[in-house]
Structure 1
Amino acid sequence: MSYCCRRLLSVFPASRFPVWLRCIAVFGLLWLNVGGSFGAVHEPASARQSSARFVRVSRHVAPAAKRTSKAKAHSSGHAKKTTTGKARRRVAHKRKLQTSFERPMHVSQLKTKHRRQMARNAREPRAGRRPANAAAQRHARTVTAARANAHSPAHAPLRLLARCGYTPKSRALLRAKAVYVVDERTQTVLAEKQAERIMPIASVSKLMTAVVSLDTQHALNAPLDVTDQDRDYDKFTGSRLSVGSRLSRHDMLHIALMSSENRAAAALSRDYAGGRPSFVAAMNAKARVLGMRNTSFVNGTGLSPANVSTARDLSRLVAAASRYPLIRAYSTDRAQVVRPGGRHAQLSYVNSNALVRGGDRSIVLQKTGFINEAGHCVVVRMMVHGRPVDIVVLGAPGPHDHIADVARISRWLRCSLR
C-alpha cells in the first residue's frame, strides 16, 4: 500500500496540486483497498461455487496431463472435506462432470491402466490355484443336491416296498433255491436269496455260448451241419433237429436261445477254431473277463451238471449278453420256423419262456434251463417303467415255479419302482 501511495504522490506533484487534493486522493485509495479485501474475505458460498465452476470448466481446455493432475488434486482435496452423504453425492457428480469433458487418454495412460488391471488380476485367486477350495465347493454342491434329491420321490432310494407285497411272508413264497434281483443302472440289489451259492445252471449256459459265437464274427448266413458229434452223450436226450440237418448260423443261434435247442448249441460250439475244447476254454476265459469268479463251463449246451455258477455271477452274464442285439431279439422271439432240409421240410419252434409266449413285452432278454441236478432256472432282463432290472432264479423245484417266481417279483418291481 505504501508503494501505491508513493506512486500516487508522484503522479500528483506538490508544485501543481494543493495539499488537500493530494490527501483526498490518498484516503480514496486506502478506502478502495480495504473494501476490496473485506469483500474477498466475506464472499458468499454461491459466488465461490460459481467461480469454482468457472475455474473447472476452464481447466478442461488445458492439456490432458495438467487437466488430469488438477482434477485428481481437486477431487481428493474436496473428498477429504466432505463427510456427509449429500457431500459425497456432490463429489461423485462433480467427478462425473469432469470425466465427461475429458479427452481420450494418452497411450502411456492406457498402458499404465492396463498394467494396474493385470496386477489386480494377478492378486485375485483363481480356481486352479486352490484345488482344495474348489473340491470343497464341488463337495458342498453335491451334498446340497443329495439333500434336495432325498426329499424328491423321483430320487428316492430303490427298494421293494412292503405296501407292494414285499414282506417276509411273501418272500417265503419264492420257491427257487437262489434268487438275485438287481437294478442295472445303479447296481442296487433289490432282493437276494443265497445269491453266492454255486449251483448247476443247465441251459442258461447257452447265453455264454451265444456270446462266444458272436465274438468270433463268423458269417452268420453260412450253413452249418448237424453231425453225430452234436448228439447228447451226457443225458442222452433227443432232438427234433436230426443228424444231417443243415441250417444257417443265424437259425442255429435263434433256436438255441429261443427254444433251448441242444443240438443247435452243440453245433455252434463245434464250429470254432480249435474245435469244442477251444470253444469251452473261450467260454471260461470270457467268464473271467466278466468277473464271474464262481462260474465254470465244460460244454456249450448246459446238459452237464459241471456247468456251475451263482445267481450273482449270472447277473453279470445277463448284463454282458444284453449288449448283443441278436441275443436280445432271438431270446425274446415268440416263435420261429426253420427249414433244415432232409426229411423235415420245416420245423416250428416256440419260446421256452411262458411269460414271453404270453406276450410280456417288458422282457428284453431271457433264457431258461432245466436238468435234474439244476432244477428249473431262468434269467430275465425286464424293463420296469423304463428301468432295466435283472432277475436270476435258480433251482426252482416245479416246472412252473421259476416262472411264477419271476411273475411275483415283477409285480413287486412295478409297484415299488414307480
Structure 2
Amino acid sequence: MKPGRLFVACCCAASLICVASAAPPERVSVAKKVATPLLAEAARADSPELRSESFLIVDQRSGEALLARNADRVAPVASITKLMTAMVVLDARQPLSEMLTVTEDDRDRLRKSRSRLPIGSRVSREDLLRLALMSSENRAAAALARYFPGGDKAFARAMNDKARKLGMTRSRFVEGTGLSAGNVSTARDLSLMLKAASGYPLIRQFSTDSHHTVALARGAREFRNTNPLVKDPNWEISLSKTGYIEEAGRCLVMQTWMRGRPVLVVLLDSFGSRTRTADARRLQKWLAQRPWDALVMARKGAAG
C-alpha cells in the first residue's frame, strides 16, 4: 500500500497531548473538519510512519484532528461495527440479565468463521454484549440483533438511525456483526461513533476487559480481548475495538489517554496482523516526542 498524504494539524493550548495517565472518560465534541497545519517549526519534524491505509487521530477534548490520511474514504469496517451494535442494544434497554439462546441462525454462513460460543449456549444478554465487544464474537453479536424487537431488519434500521443522529453521513450498516462488506464508513465518521460509544460505561468496561469466563453447558470457557494493548501497562485505554475481514483489512479504534488527555485513534486497513498495534505504538511514541509544550507557550505568549 502506498502511503497517502499525511496531514498534521494545529496544536493549541486546549489540545496539548501527553503520555498516559488515568483519568475518567468524558463527553466532548469532535470537530468535523481537519484542523489547520501545525506551526512551521513542528511541520518540519518527522511524522510517524503509520502503515494503516486510512487513519484519523483526534484530541477529543479540543476536537483537533492531529493526524489524518484518507479520513473520508468510504470502506468496509468489519467488526468495528460492533460498537454501533452495542449502542443500539443498550439504547433499547432490554434486560441485560435475560438469558438468550445461541441458535443456528447465528452461525456465520457468509465467511464460515469459527466461534468459541457453541450453538445451543444459553448466555445472558450482558455476557453476549461483553463477548461481542471484548472477543469480537460474531455469534454473540448475531444473537443480540436477532433478539432485538423486530429482529435483524429492525436492528439494521436502528443502527442506521443511530448513525444519522451522530452525524455519520457517509456510513451504512446492513447487519450487526461486521461480517458483511456492506457495513461501510470512514475514519472521520468512526471518530464520531467512537466518541459517542465512550459515553456508555458498559461499552468502555466490556471493550477493555482483558478476559472473561462464561459458564456454558459443557463447562466454563475463558474468552480474551482481541486487542493486546489493553494488557500493556504503557497504555491507558478507555475503549477499544478491533476488526478484520479481507475487504476491510486489519482495523483498530481506541479511546486512549496520553499525557492526561483523551485521544481518539482510528486505524483502518492495515495489511498485516500486527500492523495496527504497531501503528498505535508508533503514534504513542511520536506524540510523546512532539515539542508541543514549547509551541503552546510561544502561542500563549504571542496572544498575551
TM-score bucket (shorter structure): 0.7 to 0.9
Q: 1:237 Cα shift?
A: 1.1
1:355 corresponds to 2:229: yes
For 1:409 and 1:358, the matched residues in 2 are separated by 15
1:182 equivalent to 2:58? Answer yes
Equivalent residue, structure 1, for 2:182: 306
Q: Indicate yes or no: 2:228 matched with 1:370.
A: no
Q: Unpaired runs of 5+ in structure 2?
A: 1-10, 18-37, 294-304
Contact 1:377–1:402 (CA<8 Å) still a contact in 2?
yes
Q: 2:269 matched to 1:269? A: no
Query: Which amino acid counterpart does residue 219 of structure 1 have in structure 2?
Result: P
Looking at structure 2, the residues matched to 154 and 181 of structure 1 have their Cα atoms a distance apart, in angstroms, of 15
The one-letter code sitting in structure 2 at the alignment partner of 1:414 is: A
How many pairs are equivalent?
262
The CA distance in 2 between the partners of 1:165 and 1:354, in whole Å, is 32
- Higher RCO, 1 or 2 (CA under 8 Å, sep at least 6)? 2
Deviations 1:315-350 (CA, angstroms, capped at 9, x unpaired): 000000000000000101111100122xx3111111
Q: What whole-Å deviation, never above 9, does each CA across 1:161-188 have from its counterpart, x for those lacking one?
A: 99999845x44x2110101001111110
Q: Report the counterpart of residue 281 of structure 2 in structure 1.
A: 407
1:251 is matched with: 127
Q: Cα–Cα, structure 1 residues 227 and 412, in superposed 2: closer, same or farther, change >3 Å?
A: same
Residues 179, 167 of structure 1: alpha-carbon distance in 2 compared, 3 angstrom cutoff: farther
Amino acid aligned to 2:256: M
Label 1:156 to 1:222 Cα distance change in 2 as closer, same or farther (>3 A).
closer
Alpha carbons 1:165, 1:412 under 8 Å: kept: no
Q: Which residues of 2 match residues 118-129 of structure 1 at below 5 A? A: none
The alignment partner of 1:221 has SS state of coil
- How many Å separate the matches in 2 of 1:289 and 1:231? 31
Distance 1:165 1:405 in 2: 20
More helix by share: 1
SS at match of 2:216: coil
- Change in CA separation of 1:384 and 1:157 when aligned onto 2, cut-off 3 Å: closer
Contact map agreement 1:245 1:340 (CA 8 A) in 2:
yes
Which residue is 1:124 aligned to?
Answer: none
CA distance 1:383–1:223, change in 2 (3 Å): same
Q: Equivalent residue of 2:219, what SS?
A: coil
Check whether the contact 1:164–1:415 (CA below 8 A) recurs between aligned residues: no
Tell me if 1:280 matches 2:156: yes
- The CA deviation at 1:410 is 1.5
Q: Give the residue type in structure 1 aligned to 2:13.
A: H
**1:238 shift after superposition:** 1.8
Q: Deviations over 1:177-210 (max 9, x none)?
A: 1010011111101000000000110000000000
- Equivalences for 1:7-406 in 2 at 5 Å? 155=13, 158=16, 167-168=45-46, 170-171=47-48, 173-341=49-217, 344-406=218-280
Q: How many percent identity over aligned positions?
A: 47
Normalization by structure 1: what TM-score? 0.60
C-alpha root-mean-square deviation of aligned residues, in Å? 2.2
Native 8 Å contact 1:161 1:412 kept in 2? no
1:162/1:267 Cα in 2 relative to 1: closer, same or farther (>3 Å)? farther
Counterpart secondary structure, 2:247: coil
Show structure 1 runs of 5+ residues with no match: 1-152
- Matched residue of 1:314: which SS? helix
Letter in 2 for 1:396: S
Letter in 2 for 1:338: V
Using the size of structure 2 for normalisation, the TM-score is: 0.81
C-alpha separation in 2, matches of 1:415 and 1:218: 46
Larger Rg: 1
Aligned to 2:32: none
Match of 1:145 in 2: none
